[in-house]
Structure 1
């Protein structure tokens, strides 16, 4: 069998003797490792163990050593404090320049990580609404303030399965604002079952996307965009299905004004225009209302044209009557002058 060599530098790791500041090399017969559990143990004079290791089989032998600690290399990129190698493959390493490497999955608070980095608290999630469990936390301090970006699994409503839970990504400050859906700041929440994403702060939800519908100031948008508040825009472009120009076609039957008056007297609103009750109940469809208003404007224009035509006819009649009156006056004056000279 080949000989396992473990080289530990800088006066540590493995049970070595330092005499006159010289580094010692300890070798172990690999034939005896597995059967008799031969180990190398490094401990202090008081018996405190700070390193223990052994080779499990001859197939894992690597000439450069299974564990290494190199601290005398001037090139920081190659200066390893510690690394682990199996069959020539580096599984993990910590370098002198502060870089670390793991070939597999790293778990923090999780002994069976299933992703490159798994940070998870094993605390179970309760079944009551707003029960939460902290999944991960990353933070730091600035002066007297401590800031954390926390990721919770929070119960959206009472239940016992993932369907009633959401991922709540929020900011906590100092010892305040630590309760998701209550007082975390600038949070982002995701519901993987209902396809819901929400943004807000504390208990206030500012924007929600529900299955492609966007709600601003509203948590249950039923349209592509629902806004609970004022919209300020330089321009709005609305696609419409048709316009009201058909009113000007010769075949269009204009409702008589007397009929319009009767309808208004009976219903207190224009024909085809929604009533106040309908608007309060269903809201105002801006596109359709503009089309109806344009129709009424065009009808009004036709009424004005018709009235103007009638007025001109009346003017002609009045002019003719006035001419008849003037002629009668002149004839009467001539008759008077002729018979009463």
Structure 2
């Protein structure tokens, strides 16, 4: 005892100057447990049997019985701990109500103040985890972080007032000043950024990353919002994805909507929007790193399941009354309305071959026989073929003109035959007239 007093005076000379303070507490009994360090007025108690505890501060660890391997530093730190083991409580009232909770680390005044049975928690900062009683596996770092947590488990809150009002929500990660501050019972949320998810109360399975992202969301679920001040319009909307600075939905309850890009806006459920709708320079590239148009695609666009392309804003209407118009592409690659113009690849595809000297014109008798057998002209698709295979406009136009030119040749042939017949008939008439005249003259 003489040696202990000597070293106490040497290490803590203030014992000679202050009043009502006891720097090193002499044990009330010869052996209060084993391997314990007890410093402070009322630190621990004489009946303790616990081992390897370090207790420093007025009334710190005063209730320890069999608790072991604890470190309690600060006035009333670990005040109610009885059997809890391997806890570290640093700060006034830190872990004040802990009784049998194990493996906790509470650093800061009133950190984990109300914890009783909770285990494996880490609370760092004034009032962090203050109200937790039986919650486990929580990590709260920052002043008032997780203050109201009572039975919540498996949460990680980093930042002043992060998750401050969470009571029973589990498996949440809040990083940043006041992130998820209003959360009460929602689960599986990840909020990163100052004030992100600020008003969220029961919305679950959300991911908000960035300053004030989804700040006003209350009950919306399964949303992914990434970008500063994005998604601030959402309150009850679900299953939305917003990526980019100030990317928004236009209503608070939108469902299954996607907006990507700075200032992008989406106004309809089940819609996907790329880019700011007020920015006329937006260009989206697929297969290219330098898109020149709102949608610039390198490759083939395949429309499945009877898909259609609709052009809603051409310079002229797609339809005028009941008159169909022709859609084409100009020299700049832009889609425009134009006159119908069809082209062929080579001259042999056109109908001029009908007028070639080597062209074999089918006799009309043969044509008549073919029509009787097949019900359509030779070389012209049947109705069944048109239904099954459709029509190639270039080929069908060439075929129709071929039939017209064949008809012209038939007409020419008929005219030649008619003139030849008329000439022969006229010659016969003239000959008969001459014979009649001769007979009359002989009489």
TM range (shorter): 0.3 to 0.5
Please report the TM-score for the alignment, with normalisation by the length of structure 1: 0.41
Higher relative contact order at CA 8 Å, sep ≥6: structure 1 or structure 2? 1
TM-score of the pair, normalised by structure 2 = 0.33
Determine which structure has the larger helix proportion and give its number.
Answer: 1
